[in-house]
Structure 1
């Protein structure tokens, strides 16, 4: 416990240099892999974000992991992301395996209780989302969709003459 507030100048210098190096490596690798590397679109993306954070912390703070080892690990994770994106674009079965599928929580003002239960969304959660989206009456709701990111989208039906494009709902279950 007495070592909590002590550090040698050399160890602090190594931490600062490692932090700068890892920071630059992450910027470079993100440019190489694309901004999608840090989105929350799929479980693979989520795992990648967590892995990168853990590797950065370990590389910067752990004396047992060298800078070269840390950057190699980060590079491997980013290469996995690039390869996964390649597979997602080419193979529908892979995309379905790693991507979360959006689902209706409400459709045409009707609450879909089975989907609510599957998504682990409570009735109170749904009401809060509707209030945040300025829904005054349940009849205003065309659809509420639990997105693959974990966000909830509300499509309002304020003008029943205007029909939303089917393309918007194409991958929603």
Structure 2
């Protein structure tokens, strides 16, 4: 447990540098989508990449080539699923959550909030974070696919273009 050897320390440093550079190259090749705010699918991939990187660094039985292949496989799969989700509504629904309406025009959607395990106090906190002192100033609160809440302030204009794909919103038209 407390053993120390320069060769094992050197291996961790060398493998760490090589694995890190490989991961950066792979992430740059696959584009910004891999590094955006995380939905549940992206979070799982990110955790898997972190676990793989730790295994590469600390397990002497895993070669740098095996490790980079594992990282490349995870990044490639994430890229393929993200690419496929853009082109297929079925795959998109399979791997991503829908945005949900939590509050609209003075009314909380309690059933949706319960399904998503969101309390009113959390909605109030999100509204306060936007600098709003009253729910009377809020048109809508949406739980986004990445778990964040978007707050739409009331306006004089009745257009609701951004609510088009939000579950629970029925267009007035």
**Under a length normalisation based on structure 1, what TM-score does the superposition of the two structures give?**
0.90
Unaligned runs of 5+ in 2: 168-173
Give 1:86 shift. Answer: 2.2
Q: Distance in 1 between matches of 2:158 and 2:59?
A: 57
Unaligned runs of 5+ in 1: none
Structure 2 counterparts to residues 1-173 of structure 1, below 5 A: 3-4=1-2, 6-157=3-154, 159=155, 161-166=156-161, 168-173=162-167
Give 1:98 shift. Answer: 0.5
Q: How many residues align?
A: 167
Q: Say which SS state the counterpart of residue 4 (structure 2) adopts.
A: coil
Q: Distance in 2 between matches of 1:62 and 1:7?
A: 15
**Under a length normalisation based on structure 2, what TM-score does the superposition of the two structures give?**
0.90
In structure 1, the partner of 2:171 is: none
RMSD: 1.4
Equivalent pair of 1:105/1:111 in contact (CA under 8 Å): yes
